[in-house]
Structure 1
Amino acid sequence: MADALNARMAALRIGQQALATASGVSVATIRQLQHGAQRRRVQNATLTAVASALDWPHDHLIRVLLQDQDQERDAAEQAPPGSDPASAGTDHQILAVLLRIEQRLTDLAERIVPGVGRTGEQANDNGPDPAE
């Protein structure tokens, strides 16, 4: 689910704060969803709100989550005896990290040159950059 969420956020060029505001979900929860590090069960209402904010069908993230769980179970069942079933998802973990890096770069570019991450909008000149 984290891969799908990160890819959609990158495609829409939306950051954590903007998604949190649009969905009514905390930034901390968005971050947990992006990293796939849920220590507790995510409520369906949360997934529905985030999916809707990303212009997906309301049940999209729930279906992705269920599919991910099925794939993890299948990978564990197909893993050779004595092997680590967690290593089956290595490609997905690498992709998730790359997507997070891409999102972070987009966020940083937006801070350096406002408007660079948005299409169809012009940058607002808010005066000199304090870092200069």
Structure 2
Amino acid sequence: MANQWGVPPYTARGKVEGEDWQAVADAVNERMAALRLGQQALANASGVSVATLRQLQHGARGRRIQNATLTAVSRALDWPDDHLIHVLVQNAAPQQEPADTAADIAGTDRQILAVLLRIEERLTDLAERIVPGVSRGRQEDDGNGPRPAK
């Protein structure tokens, strides 16, 4: 039952009543298994620490994880941004129609591009760690792919 401002009461452990963190843990663990994705890979893809993922995978015992974290993990698991939030508060993810409209396809394309850009940034960071100065020599990207070495 919510108070006069619509805020649900907190339980003794500081969690909001009606939130099902175990359902979130189950959903994350099942998806990771289906995608054959480990904690470190999910941490890298989501930008969330392994320690936070571990807590999420165990039902966030004694800790409330922020919505932004749930959104980042949802994205990394190739779910809609609010998927885990819906699982948390409803114990059931919203049913989603197949992406068959032009807007849905364009949205999927943008998501793929965003993931590819994050991968490119991480590869650039790794290259800089391996060979310092390697990224300073890069010329402005013209969108035509990598340039051959001179």
TM superposition score normalised by structure 1: 0.50
The structure showing larger relative contact order (alpha-carbon pairs under 8 Å, at least 6 residues apart) is 1
TM superposition score normalised by structure 2: 0.44
Indicate the structure (1 or 2) with the bigger Cα radius of gyration.
2
